[in-house]
Chains A and B, each alone.
Chain A
Amino acid sequence: MRIAFISLLFAVCATWPAVAGPCTGAEAQLAQVSKALTVNALDIAENALRTLSLSYPDCPEIVLHQARLAQAKGNLSKAAELYYHYTDTDPNDSRGLAYFGRFFLEQRDYMRADALSAAAVDKNPDDPAALALRGQILLMKRQSSEGQSLLEKAIKLDPDDPETQFQLGTIYDKAKAAAQAVEHFRAAATLNPHDARAWDYLGLNLELAGDLDGAEKAYEKGLQVNQAGRYHDAFLDYNYGRFLAKRNDLSGSKRHLDRAVESAPQVRAVWYERAKLDMRMQNYQQARADAEEAAACTQSGGVIDLQIYSLLSQVYSRLGNAALAKKYTDLTRATPPPVRGEQP
């Protein structure tokens, strides 16, 4: 329904002639293009931009949205070129700075993302795109309360921005506030059903909230849309596999954890989780292989040495390898558990 409405608007509005400035008369269409890009409706945005660029060849804002489109489609060099072009043309437009900043953020160029997000908010402290980006950057800089307040301001100004909803969701997820997290992830996933990350987090938090059927559906929807690109989630299979194991669907869990180790083989957590499942399925040789893979990984994914030692101790005990079982039992004993809870 939303897509049909947007298409209709473009069809009607694209025929309006330009009157004054280079973008005059295109405002509504541009707003709709921006919205389409925000919710990842790329075909609609692309068609509309093509029409608009014919009708308003000198409108610079079209360049901004073309940059966003190129970014969304993974054409990064073209996107960068267009962003540079737009910010040179209109260096005072907070949106240009914000979207360019988000581009850098996605390229993990955090310094430039930081600088551009700060500049964007300076230019317009009421621009939701600028606020959302700055909020996210501040969260990454561990300025949590400032980041959260900017994101909350952004969501009030533009509640239909799925990325802002997603970022707010992550705040509540970290705080283990499942009910609030669900609210934001559900909004993010509804606004942008292509965002596999949002579905994954929605599943995780529904699980914590006790809505197991809802979690199952969320994971499954996420898997349906989990394709390479900016919304890809490398840990969706991992999380769904863990969930299925808790629901005692071991073969289903295995299927997804197999995919998880394929998609993130460098991460200890995925091997660790599959090794645990192997143990449950009494496939101790495979458990040993997976646990040793986990031990060799450099990226922990949140799994600490103590967990690995404990698992290997069990694996080798089950296999009857007394020497290695003792080695890892001793390591388990010698490794203190993590300090938990709130620090004074």
Chain B
Amino acid sequence: MTPRKLFTIALVVALAAPPKILSGADAGRIQFENRQKNSGVSFVLDNGSLPDKPMIDGIPGGIALLDYDNDGYLDIFFTNGASLPGLAKEGDKFSNRLYHNNHDGTFTDVTDRAGLSGEGYSVGAAAADYDNDGRTDLYVTGFDHNVLYHNNGNGTFTDVTAKAGVTGVSSAGKKLWGISAAWLDYDNDGKLDLFVVNYLDWSFATSRVCGPAGKRLSCSPTLYKGEPNILYHNNGDGTFTDVSEIMGISRHIGKGMGVAIADYNDDGWMDIFVANDNDRNFLFKNRGGKAFDEVGVESFIAYTDNGLPVSSMGVDFRDWNNDGKPSLIVTALGGETYPLFRNEGNGFFSYESYKAGIGFRSLKMSGWGAGIQDFDNDGYKDLFTANSHVSENADLDGQQHYRQANAVFRNMHDGTFQDVSGDAGPGMQIRAAHRGCAFGDLNNDGKMDVVVSAIGSPAELLYNTSTGGNHWILIKTVGVKSNRNGIGTRIKVTTASGLVQYNHVTTAGSYASSNDPRVHFGLGADTVIKEIELKWPSGTVQVLHNVKADQVLPVTEE
């Protein structure tokens, strides 16, 4: 063969090969390192378990990642349980905790100074700047108390729940069992509203026991009635109005656990997904800020393709296949699979757990927290789930495990995912009773980290140490006409190599948790972003050109 022929063949091969959008895409491995031990974060989630395993003791564990002191670094807030059946935070072990990020991998417990130790049986957390004063506030849900903490700007918070009118009490006067909450500006009026997800009509008086004595299991939620969710409208004066009824929310009774928001139909109004445990999931379609239509059945996300509910717990709602349409992952119990619903863009979603390659893998998993995040910065969002069975005695049947390792599924760029948990480092092999998890960049290195709570075990600080050297950007939106956090802003990023990605600003998602409000994009080998387009909730469209990679980019609404 002559050199000319060889060259010709090489050229043909090169031209025939599919274009490789990101040269760094295959180079890295997703890796996590648990750095809890030397971090100063000693939090252990205490569910106050009782031998009869009441419903309440299986479900705590929300986390918030928030920069409460505006120093540019995410701090960590953990919710905690209480003694049972008294529901009292007796002693430090039941205290909620706030850890300040010292910027060097260590954290300082500032709970007492902040005034965030909490009361009652706490479950979830949602962080955002509801009063547009530039400081991140915090809403904590719980069985017996929901609390709104206003950030005073000096390291302390004030409980303003009663004044704000966000107690989590229904219009009928019953305190509902709050699990998750989401901040969103549903009417695009520039003020963040609050959506609270409620679970079961359960109390110790009506509590039932399941499983034989000494081997009790958490009962199925199907043995109890569900509860309505609550939507609070922000009046802009530090108070909220319960608009659940007039907005079409409260007529839908569910068994809500997780919540996530996205504008799934690209109409400029944020919609709400609620993961219901053993009941049909809800998709509240926003009708121009005037009302919500619950369209879960019509959109095919109420059930899996089998027409039955699963134990839906955690959820995330983002675009994982870069088609501009936010899609869903939901966690559930072993034997059910984790439903993956792809947004078709026509009002329908298709159940694609098996098609995407996570069906068989997730059959043996039970999951709580969930996230759609690009962990290897290759430009395609991956999946993470915080795993554990609900029942402490689950192992008695030999097929389920109470303590499970978390899972990470790598996006293979073709609509499928690969379970790479086993190769993701020792931090991903920790078997524990994981519950909530929150996603954010703790050390501002451009890699999305994960903080995971676990009943009876130290929380895990999973720093992302993925290899590959891919580039990234974190976009911090600052709303002016829109809400200050820019929550609801839809962002489209086009890199120099032509890859187009989408994401949106939200802190909601996972299970009972609150994520980094900054929007992360992996950029692969690209060092320059050709264009960033931001569609603010106000309707403003803002475009940036030729933005350098590898930075935290503040963008103020123009």
Contact = CB atoms under 8 A, between A and B. Distances in A.
Contacts of B359: 246
Given A248-B355, A306-B307, A317-B348, A208 B363 contact: yes
Given A248-B354, A344-B208, A344-B223, A177 B297 contact: no
Contact of A340 (B222, B297, B298, B302): B222
Interface stretch (B166-174, B209-217, B402-410, B547-555): B209-217
A144 interface: no
B398 A177 contact: yes
B513 to A, nearest CB: 25
B355 A343 contact: no
Chain B contact residues: helix, strand, loop or mixed = loop
B397 interface: yes
A245 B335 CA distance: 17
B355 A340 contact: no
Interface in B108-160: none
Contacts of A310: 297, 302-303, 307
B25 to A, nearest CB: 23
Interface in A296-344: 304, 306-311, 313-314, 317-318, 325, 329, 332-333, 337-344
A20 interface: no
Interface in A238-256: 245-248
Interface in B309-338: 309, 335
A210 B363 contact: yes
Which of B217, B307, B309, B363 counts the most A-chain CB atoms under 10 A from its CB?
B307
Contacts of B307: 306-311
A210 B217 CA distance: 25
Interface residues of A, number: 39
Which of A207, A245, A304, A332 counts the most B-chain CB atoms under 10 A from its CB?
A332
B58 to A, nearest CB: 12
Nearest to A276: B305
Interface string B284-318: 00000000000001101011011111000000000
A4 interface: no
Interface in A156-213: 175-180, 207-208, 210, 212
A340 B220 contact: yes
B364 interface: yes
Nearest to A272: B307
Contacts of B278: 337, 340-341
Given A210-B364, A340-B278, A332 B297 contact: yes
Contact of A341 (B220, B309, B355): B220
B308 A338 contact: yes
A175 B297 contact: no
A344 B397 CA distance: 17
A340 B223 CA distance: 8
A337 B398 contact: no
B280 interface: yes
A298 to B, nearest CB: 19
Interface string A39-72: 0000000000000000000000000000000000
A341 B223 contact: yes
B399 A177 contact: yes
A218 B222 CA distance: 36
Contacts of B243: none
Nearest to B208: A344
Which of A279, A338, A340 counts the most B-chain CB atoms under 10 A from its CB?
A340
Contact of A337 (B211, B219, B222, B360): B222
A246 B354 contact: yes
B280 to A, nearest CB: 7
A329 B347 CA distance: 14
Contacts, number: 90
Chain A contact residues: helix, strand, loop or mixed = helix
Contact of B398 (A179, A340, A341): A179
Interface string B337-358: 0000000000010000011000
B300 A314 contact: yes
Contacts of A212: 360
A337 B308 contact: yes
Nearest to A337: B309
B360 A313 contact: no
Contact of A344 (B210, B221, B308, B360): B210
B421 to A, nearest CB: 14
Nearest to A303: B307
A97 to B, nearest CB: 36
Interface in B158-190: none
B279 interface: yes
Which of B210, B297, B298, B309 counts the most A-chain CB atoms under 10 A from its CB?
B297
A317 B347 CA distance: 10
B525 to A, nearest CB: 31
Contacts of B223: 339, 341, 343-344
Interface in A128-178: 175-178
Nearest to B311: A340
Contacts of A329: 297-298
B475 to A, nearest CB: 36
A304 B308 CA distance: 9
Nearest to B294: A333
B298 A176 contact: no
A210 B335 CA distance: 11
A276 B210 CA distance: 35
Contacts of A248: 354-355
Nearest to B209: A344
A332 B220 CA distance: 21
Contacts of A177: 397-399
Which of A279, A310, A333, A343 counts the most B-chain CB atoms under 10 A from its CB?
A310
B102 to A, nearest CB: 43
Contacts of A246: 354, 359-360
Contacts of B399: 176-179
B355 to A, nearest CB: 6
Contacts of A337: 222, 278-280, 308-309
Contacts of B397: 175-177
A251 to B, nearest CB: 15
A306 B302 CA distance: 12
Contact of B210 (A208, A314, A343): A343
Interface of A: 175-180, 207-208, 210, 212, 245-248, 276, 279, 304, 306-311, 313-314, 317-318, 325, 329, 332-333, 337-344
8 contacts: A175-B397, A178-B399, A248-B354, A279-B305, A313-B297, A313-B298, A341-B210, A344-B210
Of all A-B residue pairs in the complex, the 8 with the closest CB atoms, nearest first, are: A341-B220, A307-B307, A310-B307, A344-B208, A339-B222, A246-B354, A342-B210, A337-B309
Given A332-B302, A344-B223, 7 more contacts: A177-B397, A248-B355, A333-B297, A337-B279, A340-B220, A341-B222, A341-B223
